[in-house]
Amino acid sequence: MKLKKWLLATYLIVMLVPLIAGYILFAWISDYSKERAVADRLETMLELQNVQRITENPALYGAHANYRAVKALGSDTQAVTLYNTSGNVLFRTNEFLPTTSRSERFNHLNELQRDFRTYTYRAPVLADNNVVGFYEVVFSRKQWRDGVANRTTTIIVIFSVLLLALYALVMLIMNRKFTKRLTLLGQQMTDFAQDKPFTKVPQAHDEIGELTEQFYAMQREITRTRQKLTDEQAEKQFMIASLSHDLKTPLTSIRAYAESLQGDLSAAERAEYEQIIISKSHYMQQMLDDLTTYTTLQSPNYALKKVAVDGEEYFEMLLSDYQALCAARGIQLTTHNAAHGTYYLNPKQLMRVMDNAMMNAIQHAATKVSAFTAEANAMRTFVYDGITPYITDGALYIVVQNDGAGISEEDAKHVFDPLYQADTARTKAGNRGSGLGLSITKQIIEKHGGTVQIVSAETVGTALICRLPIQEETT
């Protein structure tokens, strides 16, 4: 049950208990009053007859009357008052009785009046058909009042015990549903803040349960973020150490060749050393550029700016710069562009994607490299049969494939990790890159809202598949 409903139900019960107690008390007293009404009236009438035998004596209302017999009628439960014809008190057995006004003394004569505390009877006394006085008899309803008081006390005691039991039950349930659970949640929050382990407990489907589940979700997210930050920090430290080592090697070579240029060298040797220095400088520049790009793409504040480009013109240009490089290495290059619409992308960043993909493909190709840009239907006609299952409708594809030795399934899982080198041959001089190219490629494609994947078969070749969503307007 939701806590809101439980609280409303508890509030309703607490409010109804006094009303129920009052109703039961009223009904019980009413039943008792009905039960006692006839018996009390009969008993009172019998006692009244005994009193009337004395009070209806006209001699009691004359001068020098003897009230000894009347006085004997007075008791804790019965009182007699005699009045003259003017309404003045002649004799009263109980002086503590409240005094009535003269007008009231002549009301309801010969009627037995009943109120909560007493029965009252007033009547005139006649002598020779003349009124000589009045008498008033008051009978206490002590027995009835005692019965009512006993029943009231019983009801109060019963319902007091019931209220105390209800209060104890409510406090017990509140401790179980509120205090205990909130205290446990507070302790878990404190343990989490102090990086201490704590045990999660199953939660009820109520507001506190939802709050606790939200805390658990927040704890999982914070833990995941902490781990991510730790991994990123470790990755950055590894990257700095690795790049520092990679920069140290060409820098040492540059220094050695620069010092050699100060000696006696032939023109051919001098030209060779200068070319090596320039080559090493370009290599260092490439590493620093890759590191800058990688860091920029990692920033959560970096937003990729897209513009509209003509697919036919842009992608023809994108595929046209690698023929000379492939020819120099004796590699057959095949390119084809079937993207003829308008696309929204970042031209500069996609050029970097194509450079990274082509350089990796050329470096590890045996004899052939192919590069295609097209939407899904056309792309299926260009690529190897083993790649077509990875082509789905509704997207623009950039696919670069070669016929090299391929890479293992284990290496394919990590090729997009920064600084990962799948091929040990790449560590040879002149072949080693920064190790950030494919990681940068993946980030650029994902910044476009797309995906990138490697499909490879050993002894057959490798394909890099970049999938870009087709957008109708700039974002």
Query: Where in the chain are all domains bearing CATH 3.30.565.10?
Result: 303-469
Please tell me the CATH code under which domain 200-302 is placed. 1.10.287.130
Percent of all residues in the chain with a pLDDT value above 70, rounded to a whole number: 94
pLDDT in tens, 307-336: 999 999 999 999 988 988 899 899 999 999
pLDDT above 80 (res 415): yes
pLDDT above 50 (res 431): no
Query: Where in the chain are all domains bearing CATH 1.10.287.130?
Result: 200-302
Contact assessment for residue 376 and residue 470, using Cβ atoms and an 8 Å cutoff: no
pTM: 0.53
pLDDT in tens, 228-256: 888 878 877 777 777 777 777 788 888 88
Quote the pLDDT of residue 472: 60
- Ranked by mean pLDDT, the top range of 45-49, 245-249, 409-413 is 45-49
Contact assessment for residue 358 and residue 369, using Cβ atoms and an 8 Å cutoff: yes
pLDDT above 80 (res 356): yes
Q: Is it true that domain 3-146 has CATH number 3.40.50.300? A: no
Please tell me the CATH code under which domain 303-469 is placed. 3.30.565.10
Residue with tokens 């009052």: 22
Query: Where in the chain are all domains bearing CATH 3.30.450.20?
Result: 3-146
List Cβ<8 Å contacts ≥24 apart for 89-96. 90/60, 90/61, 90/65, 90/133, 91/60, 91/65, 91/67
pLDDT in tens, 382-405: 887 778 888 988 899 999 999 878
Banded pLDDT at 274 (limits 50, 70, 90): confident
CA 23 to chain centre: 44
Residue with tokens 């190790």: 435
